Structure 1
Amino acid sequence: MSPDHTVQQQRKIQKEVEQADKKGKSKPSGAMQAGARRYPEPPFPQVHQDKPGSEADLPSAPMYDAPFYKGSEKLKGKVALITGGDSGIGRSVAVLFAREGADIAIIHLDEPKDAEETKEAVEREDRTCLVIHGDVKNASFCQMAVEKTVTRFGHLDILVNNAAFQVHSQNIEDLSDEHFDETMKTNLYGYFFMAKAAVPHLVNGSAIINTGSVTGLEGSKELLDYSMTKGGIHAFTRALAGQLVPKGIRVNAVAPGPVWTPLNPSDKEAKDVETFGSQTPMKRAAQPEEIAPAYVFLASSQMSSYITGEILPIVGGY
């Protein structure tokens, strides 16, 4: 084949592609909707809350109850203790665990109305919910919370470390020692204290599930301290998983991308909340009920018995 023929062939292909590109160009599509029901898309309401944030006071309520999710006794007879279980991902996990047959204990910091609503949601699933008020930064409280759960239910099978503190800071110079300390102690010490208290009560087939974050995978320039803790949680997950293999206790983490919970309106300015999640390929934030089934998967010995030390990203297509 001559060089001239090859040039003509390449130019022909080039023109065909250019024409196809022109035909294919269209207006950008909206947010991806591939769930059992339609989920909210940006813009969200411009709202800002004081820490720790209240789900009851959000003008756009997070969707947590997963009405199309059908339980099948994946966690029948189990007992789960969930930190930060009053709202957001923690609430949805509590509801789905209950729908799968587990009794639930939730820990909350200062949101009694949210905690009561979670308790009622669990009870609508015909399971029992124990509500514990306290601060996971306190080692003695974590010990008490585990003991209270075991006393109430007789055993403990699943620990979900989910409580978190997050407030953005534009510059490292503005990140105060107090701010840094609060993030580290809530997100790292809290997970360590809860796991240390729970492990003596866990048996073969038990599970620990930690809530990581996409920020722990990619970093976030405005969440320097939070990103550090989430990366630390991922490493903690893998290290503890290796340590607990001989005991038959699985340890995994879920690393969500943006999720519509009180954590974010109590961090971001109102104008930034409006576009929350729009930067993902799916162009929207997740709702808690879209994240919670991953916790069921990792808690269930029928579904994930050969999985430990893993970080499961649910990040909207990053």
Structure 2
Amino acid sequence: MAKQPPQHQDHQPGSEAEMTPRPRSFMEDWPGGDALAGKTAIISGGDSGIGRAVAIGFAKEGADVVILHKEEHEDAAETLRHIVEAGGRGHAIAGDIGDPQFCARAAAEAVEFLGGRVDILVNNAAEQHPCDDFAEIPIGQVDRTFRTNILGMFWLTKAVLPHMPKGSAIINSTSVTAYKGSPQLVDYASTKGAIVGFTRSLALALWEDRQIRVNGVAPGPIWTPLIPSSFGEERTSKHGSGVPMDRPGQPDEVAPCYLFLADPLRSSYMTGQVLHPNGGTVVNG
């Protein structure tokens, strides 16, 4: 049974403005508060989907937010508007997270906008490209997927880290595919598995001297622009049908995991861990 109308976008990472129905990514039911009052945050892939919901949620809790995005200027502008309406300061930087020079420039610009300090870094940007026959997977695609999904995390984290004080938080977006695999997304799932290792190892590396917590979130099938821009109409229409809850999740249902992990009070005893908002799939990891 179709979960949403058949649709496809021919460009990645896709546009939320073109989706039907639009994802719930504006955190309209989140009451807000002061859990992140005075905090500053950088979110890669913050223009739409999960990144948008996280950015708006952070702003509702009192944070100023810089979002990084690729070419989705309309989506980014809408996200910034909601950040400001929520009471935060927002800034968008466009570029390719797979380029280490862009990561360095973006980090410098973000740090300047945020007043010289970054309390929360969310590594969220990603891309995926299905391939039915692994023997035919393009080498360039594999290189591109790894550059965006995992190497970009290395480069952006390295550039931002000198500006993160003790008590800061890093949150990395991995995926349920890191735990259960995906026959059509071997390169994507591999990068997401690498992110789990990156998260656990970085948590160990950054605690003793810096007291920076590093955690991850592994979403299941979420209704974001990455879905219609990755799959054909039929596959997109059935997105979310393979989980116990029998529906795709919404970005607003995933963002609270990031808000919890960013909150230095509520998640003070959490580092090196991964949360699993995935519609009921048990991954034992």
Q: TM-score, normalised by structure 2?
A: 0.96
Q: Deviations over 1:159-205 (max 9, x none)?
A: 10000010111111121001111101100111111111111111111
Query: 1:153 and 1:276 mapped to 2: Cα distance?
Result: 37
Query: 1:68 and 1:184 mapped to 2: Cα distance?
Result: 35
Deviation of 1:68 (Å): 2.1
Query: 1:213 and 1:157 mapped to 2: Cα distance?
Result: 24
Matches within 5 A, 1:152-191: 152-154=113-115, 155-191=117-153
Matches within 5 A, 1:213-224: 213-224=175-186
Count of matched residue pairs: 278
Equivalent position to 1:151, from 83, 87, 112: 112
Equivalent position to 2:78, from 113, 117, 123: 117
Deviation of 1:42 (Å): 4.1
Of 288-297 and 132-141, deviating more is: 132-141
Letter in structure 2 aligned against 1:238:
R
Counterpart in the other structure of 2:36: 75
Structure 2: any 5+ residue segments left out of the alignment?
A: none
Q: Which consecutive aligned stretches of 4+ in structure 1 deviate over 6 angstroms post-superposition?
A: none
Answer whether contact 1:42 1:277 (CA < 8 A) is retained.
no
Matches within 5 A, 1:1-318: 42-52=2-12, 53-154=14-115, 155-246=117-208, 247-318=210-281
Query: 1:99 and 1:122 mapped to 2: Cα distance?
Result: 8
Letter in structure 2 aligned against 1:46:
P
Letter in structure 1 aligned against 2:63:
A
Question: Greater CA radius of gyration, 1 or 2?
Answer: 1
Structure 1: any 5+ residue segments left out of the alignment?
A: 1-40
Query: 2:182 and 2:128 mapped to 1: Cα distance?
Result: 12
Deviation of 1:107 (Å): 0.5
Deviation of 1:218 (Å): 1.0
Letter in structure 2 aligned against 1:292:
A
Letter in structure 1 aligned against 2:219:
P
The alignment's C-alpha RMSD in Å is 1.0
Query: 1:304 and 1:42 mapped to 2: Cα distance?
Result: 38
Deviation of 1:43 (Å): 2.5
Query: 1:277 and 1:174 mapped to 2: Cα distance?
Result: 27
Q: TM-score, normalised by structure 1?
A: 0.86
Q: Could you tell me the percent identity over the aligned residues? A: 45
Q: Deviations over 1:214-250 (max 9, x none)?
A: 0001111111000000000000000000000021100
